Amino acid sequence: MKRVRASSCKIAMLFLVLLLTGVSSLARAEDEDTDTFLTQFITALNASMPPHSNAPAAADLFEQNATVRYMNPGVPDQKGSTAIRNYFASYNQWFSDWTHVERSRLIQGNRAVWEGTEQGHDKSTGKPLKLPVVFILEFDDQGLVKESRVYIDVQAMADQLK
């Protein structure tokens, strides 16, 4: 009886190890995909910013019905391709050049947190701007953004434009 119980216990432990290894491998593969999607997103976003100003290309980084939520008071959410494209088109009015520089990233499943700096020059004054920014992105299986939350230190912009 002890031998049967010991064998059952060993089989259960082996099954648990195999299960956890398989789940861990799947999670790592999903994390690697999301890491790749995040890199592609930031690269394409930078290529779409002023002076190149390609708002349709920036909007194409998102699902058709995606939502971009700016977590700053007074900045409305953009829902859907048209609203997202129009928002990115406005960058050409505000900045003569604009880029995103990475500081850190965290990947978990199909979600990514990207922290960095947005920087460029204000179009009306020519003054340099450097703003802390955090993106929280959820990607679909094709690498398109389903939802994004964006935190920007807009007070830093006001302070730099004084």
Q: What is the pLDDT along the chain (162 residues), one digit of tens a residue?
A: 555 455 555 555 544 444 444 544 444 445 789 999 999 999 999 999 999 999 999 999 999 999 999 988 888 899 999 999 999 999 999 999 999 999 999 999 999 999 999 999 999 999 999 999 999 999 999 999 999 999 988 777 778 878
d(CA 143, CA 69): 19
The per-residue pLDDT for 156 is 78
Domain ranges of the chain: 31-160
> Topology of 31-160 in CATH?
Nuclear Transport Factor 2; Chain: A, (3.10.450)
- In terms of C-beta distances under 8 Å and separation of at least 24 residues, what long-range contacts does 37-40 make, across chains too? 37/112, 37/139, 37/143, 38/105, 38/107, 38/112, 38/114, 38/137, 38/139, 40/143
pTM for the complete prediction? Answer: 0.79
